[in-house]
């Protein structure tokens, strides 16, 4: 006969601590086994479970229970001498039933806590939520930081007057001054080398004893937990409780910081926050950038690669791109591979890294990426160049938009040779008109195509259609090539004398004068607007066909 089973796993350290209010606790076993449940020992009970702890009220019961192979707690309110055969003795205190109820209550509280932590983990919650529900058990002030020492979570209901901790919470990251202190006292080495908890009672940096648990990948840190023991000492009981919490944090470390992150976790977390505008002010960007080894000022460019669903594994693209662009930094943001490049070392670097343009004789990153995109049948968007790291969020959006427009253009091969430096690397600067048209068309802005230059081009297009001529393309090439007859003739495979004849006829027929620089600009702009509108129309047709498909 048995009763009172509670299915939760408590260590002997936790059990001994929880029973201190029930009497004088004497521990015989120095090991720290865990127990899955608790029962009152009943004589002639044939069911003995090795991971269950049995409570005995007499020494005779202890003797019989031990003979049956039970793990025993001896409880006697009138006895002052422990029974060495029991792993614990609770003496001169409460009765067996009261002690039993205390154990069941402790098991119920810990079981509820562990279930709540697992619920946060399973539904994809955040570390702050995990820490909030753990505060009553951890008791002390706890902070969790990422590889760049940015604050991920902290104990909000337990004040802490340690200056380092206060500064961390105030700024949201460890400042360079604090990191210098860590380096001076060689704090990083044990975090990287030692397993389990690292207890530091030197008071060199923190005014309290600290207990650190760090999680690592192949290349660097992932998550670091620091507990300041400003309320409770780090005894065996508290370390076991801390371990239950750390087991759940480890899930987040594995989820958010896998081993295959090529840039290293400190760089990766910083870049992701930077691109999404989550770093904060310029000072925070400068501090965290320094930690990640990224300058605050440089000749930056940002590249964005997103493949259609099911094309190929993202991890493969991430790995290949990372090797190709090093020492540029690569990370995965959502479903896109993003590259931050600051490789350029010369002020004479071309704006878009055209072929053979590098003044240092290097193969440009755009050229290398273009070759890879050709092999994988992908499109890469590129931002405008920028000089300060704080401009990265805008550059990220530019590169993303350029990538989207690049994919749209693949659906419609235009007859005009709209200039792009690369067939697969689409620069935001070269598709800004497409972006503007896309934005305006959503608001009924197709009126922008109805300019005088647009009207003339539409007239030329209609005549080409009826007369089977190609004046529309001819005028475009003539204007794009700055009216140089020999260049136009070579591109269109005609004699240079015919160029002058053709342009004279077009000017006469449609009443235009290409010597007018303003009109030339308006024509080229109208060409770009018309081309962008055709691309947008193709995209709209595709989207409508997808929506209407059964």
Query: Taking the C-alpha atoms of 218, 223, 229 and 234 in order, what is their torsion angle to the nearest 10 degrees?
Result: -40
| Helix (H) or strand (E) segment spanning residue 325 | helix 314-325
DSSP 225: E
Beta bridge partners of 304: 338, 381
Report the length, in residues, of the chain.
550
Owner of token pair 């039970």:
70
Q: Write down the pLDDT at residue 102.
A: 95
Least Cα distance to 305 among 389, 373, 363 occurs for 373
Homologous superfamily (CATH) of 127-256 is GAF domain (3.30.450.40)
Least Cα distance to 36 among 51, 21, 19, 54 occurs for 51
Q: Write down the pLDDT at residue 129.
A: 95
d(C-alpha 175, C-alpha 42), whole Å: 61
Listed in sequence order, the DSSP H helices in 52-91 are 59-67
d(C-alpha 380, C-alpha 365), whole Å: 12
Q: How far apart are the first and last CA of the chain?
A: 64
Q: What is the largest CA-CA distance in the chain?
A: 121
Confirm if 192 and 166 have CB atoms less than 8 A apart. Answer: no
DSSP 385: P
Least Cα distance to 116 among 103, 129, 105 occurs for 129
Tens of pLDDT along the chain (550 residues) come to 333 444 568 999 999 999 999 999 999 988 999 998 899 998 766 567 778 999 999 999 999 999 988 999 999 999 999 999 999 999 999 999 999 999 999 999 999 999 999 999 888 889 999 999 999 999 999 999 887 778 899 999 888 888 888 988 888 887 777 777 777 767 777 766 667 788 988 888 888 999 999 887 665 667 889 999 999 999 999 999 999 999 999 888 887 776 655 455 667 888 988 999 988 888 888 888 887 788 898 889 999 998 766 555 666 678 788 878 878 888 888 889 999 998 776 666 555 555 555 555 567 788 888 888 888 888 999 998 888 999 999 999 999 999 988 887 776 666 666 665 567 898 888 888 888 777 776 555 556 667 888 889 989 999 999 999 999 999 999 999 999 999 999 989 999 899 999 999 999 999 999 999 999 999 988 888 887 777 766 666 555 554 444 4
Query: Exposed e or buried b for every residue in 483-522, given b needs 16+ CB within 10 A?
Result: eebebbbeebeeeeeebeebbeebeeeeebebeeeebbeb
| Helix (H) or strand (E) segment spanning residue 425 | strand 425-427
Confirm if 475 and 460 have CB atoms less than 8 A apart. Answer: yes
Q: Write down the pLDDT at residue 190.
A: 72
d(C-alpha 62, C-alpha 66), whole Å: 6
Q: Strand locations in 208-346, DSSP E?
A: 210-216, 221-228, 297-305, 329-333, 336-341
DSSP 510: H
d(C-alpha 183, C-alpha 174), whole Å: 13
Question: What residue ranges do the domains of the chain occupy?
Answer: 10-110, 127-256, 265-429, 445-542
Least Cα distance to 57 among 80, 32, 30, 77 occurs for 77
Q: Left (φ > 0), alpha (ψ -120 to 50) or beta: where does 511 sit?
A: left
Confirm if 450 and 485 have CB atoms less than 8 A apart. Answer: no
Q: Left (φ > 0), alpha (ψ -120 to 50) or beta: where does 323 sit?
A: alpha
Confirm if 103 and 19 have CB atoms less than 8 A apart. Answer: yes
Confirm if 179 and 148 have CB atoms less than 8 A apart. Answer: no
Owner of token pair 């990220």:
396
User: Up-side HSE of residue 77: CA atoms within 13 Å toward CB?
Assistant: 9
Q: Write down the pLDDT at residue 6.
A: 44
Confirm if 325 and 368 have CB atoms less than 8 A apart. Answer: yes
Least Cα distance to 198 among 185, 180, 179 occurs for 185
Query: Exposed e or buried b for every residue in 387-404, given b needs 16+ CB within 10 A?
Result: eebbbbbebbbbbbbbbb
Q: Write down the pLDDT at residue 534.
A: 75
Residues with Cβ within 8 Å of 281's Cβ and at least 6 positions away in sequence, in order, are none
The CATH code for residues 265-429 is 3.30.70
* H helix count then E strand count, the chain: 19, 18
Domains 127-256 and 265-429 share a fold: no
């Amino acid at each position: 006969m048995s009763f009172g089973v509670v299915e939760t796993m408590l260590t002997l350290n936790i059990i001994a601590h929880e029973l201190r209010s029930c009497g004088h606790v004497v521990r015989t076993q120095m090991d720290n086994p865990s127990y899955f449940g608790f029962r009152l020992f009943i004589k002639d009970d044939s069911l003995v479970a090795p991971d269950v702890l049995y409570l005995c009220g007499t020494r005779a019961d202890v003797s019989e229970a031990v003979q049956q192979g039970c793990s025993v707690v001896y409880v006697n309110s009138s006895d002052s001498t422990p029974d060495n055969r029991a792993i614990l003795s609770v003496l001169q205190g409460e009765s067996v039933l009261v002690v039993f109820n205390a154990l069941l209550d402790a098991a119920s509280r810990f079981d509820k806590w562990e279930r709540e932590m697992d619920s946060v983990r399973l539904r994809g919650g955040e570390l702050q939520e995990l820490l909030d529900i753990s505060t009553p058990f951890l008791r002390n002030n706890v902070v969790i930081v990422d590889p760049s020492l940015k604050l991920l979570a902290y104990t909000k209901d337990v004040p802490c007057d340690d200056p380092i901790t206060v500064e961390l919470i105030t700024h949201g990251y460890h400042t360079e001054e604090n990191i210098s202190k860590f380096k001076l006292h060689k704090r990083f080495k044990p975090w990287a080398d030692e397993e389990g908890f690292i207890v530091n009672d030197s008071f060199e940096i923190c005014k309290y004893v600290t207990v650190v648990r760090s999680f690592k990948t192949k290349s660097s840190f992932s998550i670091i937990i620091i507990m300041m023991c400003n309320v409770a000492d780090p005894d065996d009981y508290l370390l076991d409780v801390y371990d239950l919490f750390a087991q759940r944090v480890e899930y987040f470390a594995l989820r958010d910081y896998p081993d295959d992150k090529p840039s290293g976790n400190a760089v990766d977390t910083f870049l992701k926050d930077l691109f999404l505008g989550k770093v904060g002010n310029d000072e925070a960007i400068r501090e965290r950038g320094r930690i990640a080894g990224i300058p605050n000022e440089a000749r930056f460019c940002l590249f964005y690669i997103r493949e259609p669903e099911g094309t190929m594994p993202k991890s493969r693209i991430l790995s290949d791109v990372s090797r190709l662009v090093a020492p540029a930094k690569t990370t995965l943001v959502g479903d896109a591979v993003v590259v931050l490049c600051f490789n350029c070392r010369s002020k004479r670097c071309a704006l878009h890294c055209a072929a053979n343009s590098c003044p240092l004789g290097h193969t440009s990153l755009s050229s290398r990426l273009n070759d890879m995109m050709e092999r994988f049948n992908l499109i890469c968007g590129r931002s405008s160049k920028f000089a300060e790291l704080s401009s990265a969020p805008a550059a990220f959006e530019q590169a993303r938009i350029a990538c989207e427009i690049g994919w749209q253009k693949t659906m419609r091969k235009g007859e005009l040779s709209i200039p792009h430096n690369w067939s697969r690397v689409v620069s935001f600067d070269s598709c800004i008109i497409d972006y503007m048209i896309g934005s305006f068309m959503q608001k009924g802005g197709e009126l922008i195509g109805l300019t005088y230059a647009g009207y003339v081009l539409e007239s030329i297009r209609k005549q080409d259609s009826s007369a089977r001529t190609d004046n529309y393309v001819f005028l475009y090439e003539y204007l794009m090539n700055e009216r140089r007859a020999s260049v136009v003739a070579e591109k269109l495979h005609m004699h240079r004398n015919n160029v002058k004849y053709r342009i004279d006829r077009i000017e006469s027929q449609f009443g235009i004068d290409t010597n007018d620089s303003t009109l030339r600009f308006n024509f080229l702009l109208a060409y770009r607007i018309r081309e962008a509108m055709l691309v947008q129309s193709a995209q709209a047709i595709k989207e409508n066909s997808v929506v209407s498909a059964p």
